[in-house]
Structure formats: C-alpha cells, structure tokens
Structure 1
Amino acid sequence: MPDGVELVRQDGIGIPDRWARLWTPHRMAYVTAEDRGSPDGAVDCPFDRIPTLEDAAGLVVARGATVYAVLNLFPYNPGHLMVVPYRHVADYTELDPAEMGELGEFTSHAMTVLRRVSAPHGFNIGINAGESAGAGIAAHLHQHVVPRWGGDANFMPVIGATKVLPQLLGETRALIAAAW
C-alpha cells in the first residue's frame, strides 16, 4: 500500500480489498496440523491410515510391495499424485534400497500414466523434506508428482487466489488407476 493509505476506516471496519474469498473449512484440520502425524507416530498419520482403506475411499491409485501411489487430497493440479512408502519414515535417507527403487519406479510409471490420460506438458516432482521445507506431513516421507500444463498458472490462482480443478478426485483416481 502507498504511504498514507489507510487500511481501516474510522469506524474500524476494514476497507474491502480486491480479493474474492473461497471458504474451505474442510482444510482447517490440515492448516492447524491436526491429523498430520508426528515423528514418533503417536498421532494418527494419514499416510499410515490410507493403505488400510479401500482404494477408492483412500484415493489410492496403485499399490506396490513397499510404496503406494495416492491422489493428493489438496491437489495443486488435476492428477497430483504422491508416492508414499508404507513404512513410517520421515527422511529420504531412511529408505532401504527396495523402498528407494520402488519409489523411483512408481514415480516414473506415474509420469507415464499421467501423460497417457491427461497429456501434461511437464511435471514438478519432489520431496519437501522437513516442516521448514514445506512438508505438510513431515513425519512420513512422500514424493509429489504434479502434472503441469502451459498456462496452468493462469489468472485464477495468480489474481483470483482460487484453484480451479475440472474433475472430482474420485473420477481422477478411477481414470489413473484404470490406466496404471
């Protein structure tokens, strides 16, 4: 704001800004760190719980011997997957050779499947190792596979601060799982 511009009117009520609000109270558990897991596994970790659910209910796309692929409940883009070891480990260096190999194989296969079903122009792939690095669930390692399209960072998220997802998660899961 330029100097001298007041953000609060004399009556104490804020001046409307240019931002539209999309209220998502269902994300509050995520924002307040409820149900994210803890380093010692004392809190119910969603990545430990998901494999105990039916695939459709847990948004699981595929299961391997040491890892599974699951849709992100709060996706950056349609088809945003995570590859997660079954074992509750927090750091990449804690993976054993079998887990490390299957994590890589699942990541590669996820890219192949996503290219087949939704033709992304590229991918963001990565691990946020630790809370300070942006990990929402730092206690349980997970690798993101985010499909990207030219122009997917359009005015809605940039100007409108709103993410538009053209397909329901259950439909996305079914499509990707069938192609897996």
Structure 2
Amino acid sequence: MASDADVEGAAGTPDGFDRLWTPHRMAYIRGEGKPTGSGADDGCPFCRAPGLSGDEGLVVARGRTVFAVLNLYPYNSGHLMVCPYRHVADYADLNDDESAELARLTQHSIRALRSVSHPKGFNVGMNLGDVAGAGIAAHLHQHIVPRWEGDSNFMAVVGRTKVLPELLSDTRKLLSEHWPSD
C-alpha cells in the first residue's frame, strides 16, 4: 500500500484543494463532435440534434426555422442555445424569417428560464468565427446563459470547473414544461 507521501509525490504538490473531476469535458476539449468541414453532413451537432428525440438531443423547443437546445457543455445550469435548422455560419446570412424567429425564441428562452430558475440576469450573444471564440463556427448559435449573484465562485476561478446542480435531462424537462406559447 502506498503512503500519503508516495501518493502526493505521484500526484503533484498538494495545494490544499480537493479535486472535482469533470471527465465528460474532455470530449469538448478534444473537439469531439465538431464539424469536420463546412457542410451540414460533416458531423455538425446542431444539424443532428433536431432529428433526435427531445431527451436525446436536449432540444427544449422547436420553431419553424430555429430551435432551442441545451448546451451540452454549459457555463451555468440552464445554458440554452438558439440555432437555425439551416447550416449557416454568419448572422448576416440569415433570412428574415430565421432572424425574426431567432429573436422570438431567444425571448422565450429568457422567459422560460426566469419561470423555472429565477436568474438575476443573463448573458446573451453569439461568437461568429473561430477567432471570436465560436466552439462550432460553422453553424450559427445564440447563447442564453442565466446568471445569479455570486455564480462565479472559487470553483470556476480556482478549480477551473463548474458545479451544476441539475442533470441536463431534468433541466430540459422543466424548461420544456414552462416554455411560453406564441
């Protein structure tokens, strides 16, 4: 049996923090599931999600030209994205119907999140292009991230991880049940 000193030496210098392991994030770090090219048939998760069941694809609501889906790698609980069904990279390339419905489903996302989770604020926006920070630049998506007072605590700052108090499937179910009607 290894002594504490052997374990500490093997694991690195102790720093007084316990570790929370988030191995599911390795898929994101490695770029797994990212489109391999510029087309809809190149493995795009935003093209694939609407064809799956709500639970499997994490789709919360479906419009005519866009849909709302939970982020598989959320910044906070309830982190939604609104995406066009059409595989398009640039906001300026959306047609009028897609632009209007993207705005409406963004509003619905905020209303549903307020009803379910009572956040104190939101970050809403999109990163267009790899250099702007888009994880999947080939398919436009608008982020809706609920925020609470003090949600950026030591876990995110020091531990470089997030603690999410709810399973994505449970969040999807709650948001779907509280989705505003048109």
Whether 2:56 is the aligned partner of 1:63: answer no
Report the equivalent of 2:86.
87
8 Å Cα contact 1:35-1:43 kept in structure 2: no
8 Å Cα contact 1:19-1:161 kept in structure 2: no
Query: Partners of 2:138 and 2:32 in 1: how far apart?
Result: 13
- Compute the RMSD of aligned alpha carbons: 1.9
* Aligned-partner residue type, residue 27 of structure 1: R
Report the equivalent of 1:7.
none
- Work out the number of aligned pairs and report it: 170
1:21 shift after superposition? 4.2
1:109 shift after superposition? 1.1
1:168 shift after superposition? 0.7
Taking structure 1 as reference, are residues 177 and 147 closer, same or farther at Cα in structure 2, changes over 3 Å only?
A: same
Report the equivalent of 2:122.
123
Deviation per residue, 1:77-99 (Å, 9 max, x gap): 11100001000001101100000
Whether 2:170 is the aligned partner of 1:179: answer no
8 Å Cα contact 1:117-1:179 kept in structure 2: yes
Normalising by structure 1, we get a TM-score of 0.87
In the alignment, which of 26, 37, 40 is matched to residue 24 of structure 2? 26
Taking structure 1 as reference, are residues 158 and 39 closer, same or farther at Cα in structure 2, changes over 3 Å only?
A: same
Query: Partners of 2:16 and 2:94 in 1: how far apart?
Result: 46
8 Å Cα contact 1:20-1:160 kept in structure 2: no
* Aligned-partner residue type, residue 165 of structure 2: P
Deviation per residue, 1:120-164 (Å, 9 max, x gap): 100000001111111111110000000001111112211232211
Structure 1: tracts of 5 or more residues without a match = 1-10
* Aligned-partner residue type, residue 27 of structure 2: A
Query: Partners of 1:51 and 1:17 in 2: how far apart?
Result: 44
Query: Partners of 2:159 and 2:104 in 1: how far apart?
Result: 37
1:177 shift after superposition? 0.3
Deviation per residue, 1:10-56 (Å, 9 max, x gap): x9x95445665443333333222232113233521100000010111
Query: Partners of 2:73 and 2:118 in 1: how far apart?
Result: 21
Identity %: 60
Structure 2: tracts of 5 or more residues without a match = 1-8
Normalising by structure 2, we get a TM-score of 0.86
Q: Where in structure 1 do 4 or more consecutive aligned residues deviate above 6 Å?
A: none
Whether 2:127 is the aligned partner of 1:139: answer no
Query: Partners of 1:19 and 1:161 in 2: how far apart?
Result: 12
